[in-house]
């Protein structure tokens, strides 16, 4: 749970770095965001490896993820003022909020496994975090223009967002139908 709180604490760090007048501010902001992304992966890896989890940690981890990703999506939408970046950000935030709510509801109805994170969902998350890191930095390093790579990666992540949104929704539909029928009887 310490890494979850670290991710939350990195939100103001990333934002302060991004908007500060210090040299290489966007590099430091991108680095702070990247560290948060790595702690997300590492937290999950350790939980699986050590078989350690808690209900509170399982609840807070996705909340921390949504907070930092939403902050980053807002920053890059404002920074780039590009229709496709903004639409991608909106689609990603809509999906993240709705699937989080769906997962919570499914858990309350003992059907959490129906909407468990898929491999495609993990690829979506990795693509999204890479795209945001690159767009936050926006500069060139090692002869690579990371900002330019961020655009197609964000669009790829948005496409995977739509696909996984559809997959999770379709998977949950039978449980939702059963619940609606139970309420009507």
- How far separated are the first and last CA of the chain, in Å rounded? 42
**pLDDT tens for each residue of 57-93:** 767 777 888 888 999 999 999 999 999 999 999 999 9
Q: What is the Cα–Cα distance from 103 to 134, expressed in whole angstroms?
A: 29
- Nearest alpha-carbon partner for 154 in 175, 124, 180, 177: 124
Cα–Cα distance measured from residue 30 to residue 137, given in angstroms and rounded to the nearest whole number? 5
Q: Is the dihedral of CA 53, 4, 96, 133 positive or negative?
A: negative
pLDDT confidence bin for 47, thresholds 50/70/90: confident
Q: Three-state DSSP class for 141?
A: strand
Sort 55 into a burial class: Cβ within 10 Å, 0-12 / 13-18 / 19+.
exposed
Task: List, in order of start, the domains of the chain with CATH numbers.
Answer: 2-169 (1.20.120.1760)
Q: List the beta bridge partners of residue 144.
A: 141
Residue 52 banded pLDDT, cuts 50, 70, 90: confident
Q: Which residues of 94-107 are buried (b: 16+ CB within 10 A; e: fewer)?
A: ebbeebeebbebbb
Reported as a single tens digit per residue, the pLDDT across 119-147 is 888 899 999 999 999 999 887 788 888 88
At 10-25, the pLDDT tens digits run 899 999 999 999 889 9
Per-residue model confidence (pLDDT) at position 185: 65
Give the helix ranges, DSSP H, for the chain.
2-19, 25-50, 55-80, 83-108, 119-137, 146-184
């Amino acid at each position: 749970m310490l890494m979850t709180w670290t991710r939350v604490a990195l939100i103001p760090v990333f934002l302060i770095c991004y908007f500060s007048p210090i040299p290489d501010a966007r590099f430091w902001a991108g680095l702070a965001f990247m560290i948060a992304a790595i702690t997300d992966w590492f937290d999950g890896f350790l939980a699986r490896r050590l078989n350690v989890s808690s209900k509170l940690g399982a609840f807070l981890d996705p909340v921390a993820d949504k907070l930092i990703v939403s902050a980053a999506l807002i920053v890059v939408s404002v920074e780039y003022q590009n229709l496709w970046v903004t639409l991608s950000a909106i689609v990603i935030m809509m999906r993240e909020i709705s699937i989080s709510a769906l997962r919570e509801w499914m858990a309350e109805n003992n059907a959490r496994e129906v909407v468990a994170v898929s491999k495609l969902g993990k690829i979506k998350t990795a693509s999204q975090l890479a795209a945001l890191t690159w767009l936050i930095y926006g500069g060139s390093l090692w002869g690579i223009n990371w900002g330019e790579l961020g655009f197609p990666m964000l669009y790829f992540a948005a496409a995977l967002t739509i696909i996984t949104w559809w997959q999770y929704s379709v998977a949950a539909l039978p449980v939702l139908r059963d619940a609606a029928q139970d309420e009507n009887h």
